[in-house]
Structures are given as C-alpha cells and as structure tokens.
Amino acid sequence: MALVEHMIEMKHYAANIVFTCGAYVLAVGINVTHQVVLTNSDGETLASSNEKFAQYLLKMLEVYFNYHHDAYSTKAMLAAINPSLITYVEGAIRVQTNGITRGLTLLYNKQKRFAEITEWSDQPSVNVAVTVDTPTALKLVMERLME
C-alpha cells in the first residue's frame, strides 16, 4: 500500500520543486515515522516528571494520543540531533502532481542506467530515511523531554 504524505499531497508542485532543486535535502517519510511510536507508558512517564516542558508536552499529547500515537515531528528532530540513528539511501525523488497518485513520492536509487534521456536523467540526489534505530530513538526522545 502506498502512502501519500499530507503536506506533499497538498503542495505537490512545491514538493517536486524542493526535491529536484539541487539543495541538500534530507527526507524523513511516513514509512520511517511509523517506526517510532510513543506509548501510553511513555505518556505515564511524562506525567510523572516535574519538568515543565514534559508537563506542557503531555497536555498537548493528550489530544494527539486520542487520534494516534505516531509522533511525526520527533523523527525530523532526530535527523537533526542525531542523524546516526537513521539509515538513509541516496537517490532522486519525484512527486506525482496529478491523478489518483497525486502527492506520491517516487525514489529512483540510480542503480539502473537508462540508454535514453528520461524524467530521471540529471535529477539531483537527496538523502531519504529508510529505517530508524527505534529503541535508541525512543530513549533519546524521552530523555530530552524529561530534562
């Protein structure tokens, strides 16, 4: 099943420009964000903390937990704080801009060479997260929230 990320679907033309502009891009997609999930136990740990930030975040998470437990923003933070927790592949990304697949990102890892010029020819590479060290990532997130 292919998942389309909400913000890419809403701004698919802009996303395609970002991924093909040649700037350094580190993409952490929804498939990776689903690998790190905050549990009710994590919420209880935050509740036991006297730290103001943990208490503030807990209030925000109460509403969020009623919807789902995937804390998407934490993976973007992890990529910035400790990129070694995430495994990346390099390749070109294009964004579907129309039809039923609008907003779907496609990765070309440049392992196949084309004899002719294609839509993938001369596209810049970006780094795409594919896995995350989940136990270490959760530990780091909880430690930072409890400080």
What's the pLDDT tens digit per position in 20-55? 999 998 888 877 777 777 777 887 888 888 888 788
89 pLDDT exceeds 80? yes
Q: Which long-range CB contacts under 8 A does 41-50 form with residues at least 24 apart?
A: 42/138, 42/142, 45/142, 45/146, 46/142, 46/145, 46/146, 49/145, 49/146
Q: Do 18 and 25 touch, CB atoms closer than 8 A?
A: yes
18 pLDDT tier (thresholds 50, 70, 90): very high
CA distance 85 to 10: 29
52 phi and psi angles, rounded to 5 deg:
-60, -40
CB under 8 Å to 17, separation ≥6 — which residues? none
Quick one: pLDDT at residue 68? 60
How high is the pLDDT of residue 28?
A: 83
CA 141 to chain centre: 15
Among 38-52, 66-80, 106-120, 124-138, the least confident range:
66-80
